[in-house]
Amino acid sequence: MSETRLGRKFSDLMAENKIEFKDNEEILEIELHLIKPNPDQPRTFFDEKKLIELANSIKEHGIFQPVILKPSGHGYTLVAGERRVKAAKMAGLYKIPAIIRDYNSRYLIELAILENLQREDLTPMEEAIAFQKAIFNLKYTHEELGKKIGKSRVYVTNIIGLLNLPASVINDVNLGTITMGHARSLSKLKDQKLIISLRDRIIKESLTVRDIERIIRGLSKEKDHPIVSNDDLQKAEKKLFNKIDSGINYRFRKNNITFTFSSPEELERLIEFLIREE
């Protein structure tokens, strides 16, 4: 397949892969143990209930649509039909109907990634992994990938950012325990412990995305203007008490020390204290 055919849109790729016979092409019965999964298949989560339903249907009616395979070593790499292969194994089948097509490697990567990115049942993290693979293997920019799949560059960037989340938080996103909006907000943080702590609050306190964004903004302000701890304040107050004239009144509060005076004499003593050298 020539290089000029690799820059096509997803619809062009899929049009070529409808189950239609080509010249000298036939459906073969291939032993399931010879079929290897496509390493560039982004889907990692399969609904167990739906797989069981498909397996039961296969037991009763068989498989009507063959899978598509590519020759690979002493076996085959699965191009399309992973759910059918899994369900066939669950149904106890030994073989599965298949069409063999010898795609080149780049085309196979592109087909697997772009086909699966069009599926509505991909989890957010599977989508993020697929984006990352497309960018790495196909050398796409975020903008180029977005155009391929009908998404904005910002959408692609935000989804890939989810991969920075801790594994437990990624699992919560996949299970729907927290929303994609929550995950996007958390993915902007670098502190993994803080991310997990905020995830726990989202679940325990039923925080909205707006709530968590407000909390993160507050944390950012504290980072820019850190609050001095009570221990540090007490140490400073003790040190000041041992040095300052008893006639000068002062008060510690957060990041402020407030001096008060009631006469010109007290003001003069305060000024002398502040400017005197040890």
Task: Report all structural domains of the chain as residue ranges with CATH numbers, in order of start.
Answer: 3-121 (3.90.1530.30), 126-224 (1.10.10.2830), 230-275 (no CATH)
The reply to whether the predicted model has a pTM over 0.85 is no
SS3 108: helix
Distance separating alpha carbons of residues 258 and 129, to the nearest angstrom: 55
Q: Which helix (H) or strand (E) holds 68?
A: strand 67-72
**pLDDT 10s digits, 74-113:** 888 888 788 888 888 888 888 888 888 877 667 766 766 6
**Per-residue model confidence (pLDDT) at position 44:** 60
Q: In this structure, how many other beta carbons lie within 10 angstroms of the beta carbon of residue 253?
A: 8
Instruction: Report, as an integer, the average pLDDT of 202-228.
Output: 79
The answer to whether the CB of 162 falls within 8 A of the CB of 173 is yes
Residue 77's contacts (CB-CB under 8 Å, 6 or more residues apart) are 35, 36, 37, 38, 69, 70, 71, 108
Distance separating alpha carbons of residues 101 and 1, to the nearest angstrom: 12
The answer to whether the CB of 108 falls within 8 A of the CB of 142 is no
**Per-residue model confidence (pLDDT) at position 121:** 64
| Size (the chain), residues | 278
Distance separating alpha carbons of residues 134 and 110, to the nearest angstrom: 7
**Per-residue model confidence (pLDDT) at position 175:** 83
β partners of residue 96: 30
**pLDDT 10s digits, 40-87:** 665 666 677 888 888 888 888 888 788 888 888 888 888 878 888 888
The answer to whether the CB of 194 falls within 8 A of the CB of 222 is no
